[in-house]
Amino acid sequence: MNHDRDARETRAGLYYSHPACLEHDPRVHSPGHPDTPERLVTLERVLAERDWLGWERRSAPAIEEHLLELAHTHAHVAGIRDLCEAGGGAIDADTFVGEPSYLAALHAAGGACEMTRALCAGEADVGFCGVRPSGHHAESDAAMGFCLFNNVAVAAAFAIAELGRRRVLVLDWDVHHGNGTAQIFRRRSDVLFASIHQTRLYPGTGPLEDSGEGEGEGYTLNLPVPPGSGEALWVSLLERVVLSAASDFKPDLILVSAGFDAHEADPLAECDLKTSSFAVMAALVRDFARAAGAPLGVVLEGGYNRRVLAECVCETLPALLGEGIPARVGQAPGDGTEQITDRALAHLGRYWPL
Tell me which residues are annotated as active site. Answer: 137
Q: How far apart are alpha carbons 354 and 352 in whole angstroms?
A: 6
Q: Residue 349: what residue type? A: G
- As a dihedral over the C-alpha atoms of residue 226, residue 228, residue 229, residue 230, rounded to 10 degrees, the angle is 170
Q: Which residues pair with 227 in a beta bridge?
A: none
CA–CA distance, 120 with 109 (Å, rounded to integer): 17
DSSP letters spanning 175-195: SS--HHHHHHHTT-SSEEEEE
- β 14-17/56-59 pair status: parallel
CB-based contacts of 319, cutoff 8 Å, min separation 6: 278, 279, 280, 282, 283, 286, 326
Residue length, the chain? Answer: 354
Rounded distance, CA 133 to CA 327, Å? 32
Helix or strand or coil: residue 289? helix
Element (H, E) at 196: strand 191-198
DSSP string, 70-124: TTS-HHHHHHHHHHHHTTEEESSSS-EEETTHHHHHHHHHHHHHHHHHHHHTTS-
**What's the rounded Cα separation, in Å, for the pair 216 and 193?**
10
